[in-house]
Structure 1
Amino acid sequence: MTTASTGVDRTVLRDMLSRWPSGVAVVTTVDRAGARRGFTATAFSSLSMDPPMVLVCLDRAADCHPAFASAEAMAVHLLNEDQAHLAQRFATKNIDKYDGLPASEGLGGVPLLGGVLARVECALERRIDAGDHVILIGLVRRCEVFAGAPLVYFARAFHGLRTATHHREADTP
């Protein structure tokens, strides 16, 4: 199967893209009725330090797309290596992703998940249409860093990534 606009073989493209390891995040928000929504993302990046901004990409086919289309805030949770179950949960359609899941309330009522590697809370500044995705741009309002090692996605599977601490001996004369 090829993409209509470029003629590129989708199978080969997916296989190529799976060779790029990515961190795994869960992005959360609340819709206008106050219902908690969220999705798993591997397309997350810093955008600007001044002002502090990040971006994340959301598939238009995601069941939470309507919530993010009108949300005022979002939180991006960088997952710890033992949280593949959360990544899987938030990637699953047509389920209550928060059923039995403890979450506190962040800025704008956005759900905050525990046990994560890091978290950033943002005001949703802009949405940019891009093919079958929407790029969500967030203005950082608060961020936190916790202990752990990141969960990564590589070759269509989740993996833990132990970070090694490297130090260099001071040069001696």
Structure 2
Amino acid sequence: MAHVATPVSVVTTVSAGTAYGTTVSAFLSLSMHPPMVLISLDAGSNLLAALKPGSPLGVNVLGEGQGAIARHFATKSENKFEGIVWQSDAGAPRLPELHVWIAGRVAEITPAGDHMLVLVNVEEADPGRGSPLTYWSGAFGTHSAT
């Protein structure tokens, strides 16, 4: 799968007063009516453990130049938000300077191999700005139109 370019997002939530976040590249639009997205999370993810149907969830689609943020949230540290600027938006942590912001609530969590598929009902979306951060062949980059 390393040869398939994917957008890079930091998926976030707050549960029992604690902010959780993780970097994902498996995120896609699922439905337009109603608006839904799908996120694939490792079954051992701390973020996944904080989610249940109805939980608020944010998808911070990163922009070009945000590779350091993607790497930071890909670590296994306990408090990933320490030293990170963010604001609460629709009940989930929103990072600054995003390519796209999507907020919603967990509709369903379904097992899929060593991952869990999180289906999210979208409640708001903000197109943000700039070019998206992508991951391809083991490196971060961006997309340019041809």
TM range, smaller chain:
over 0.9
Between structure 1 and structure 2, the one with the greater Rg is 1
Q: Which of 41, 55, 65 is equivalent to 1:82?
A: 65
Deviation at 1:68, TM superposition (A): 2.3
Matches within 5 A, 1:1-173: 17-31=1-15, 33-69=16-52, 72-107=55-90, 109-161=91-143, 163-164=144-145
> What's the % identity of the aligned pairs?
34
Structure 2 unaligned regions, length at least 5: none
How many aligned residue pairs are there? 146
Equivalent-residue separation in structure 2 for 1:118 and 1:64 (angstroms):
20
Classify the secondary structure of the residue corresponding to 1:97: coil
Query: Is the Cα–Cα contact under 8 Å of residues 128 and 135 in structure 1 kept in the other structure?
Result: yes
Tell me which amino acid in the other structure corresponds to 2:108. Answer: R
Q: More helix by proportion, 1 or 2? A: 1
Structure 1 runs (4+) greater than 6 angstroms displaced: none
Is the contact between residue 26 and residue 78 of structure 1 (CA under 8 Å) also seen in structure 2? yes
Q: Which has the higher contact order (CA 8 A, sep 6+)?
A: 2
Q: When you count strand as a share of all residues, which structure comes out higher? A: 2
Q: Is the 8 A contact 2:11 2:60 kept in 1?
A: yes
Two-structure CA RMSD over aligned residues (Å): 1.4
Contact 2:53–2:105, Cα closer than 8 Å, also in 1: no
Report deviation, 1:71. 6.2
CA distance in 2, matches of 1:85, 1:147: 18
Q: TM-score, normalised by structure 1?
A: 0.80
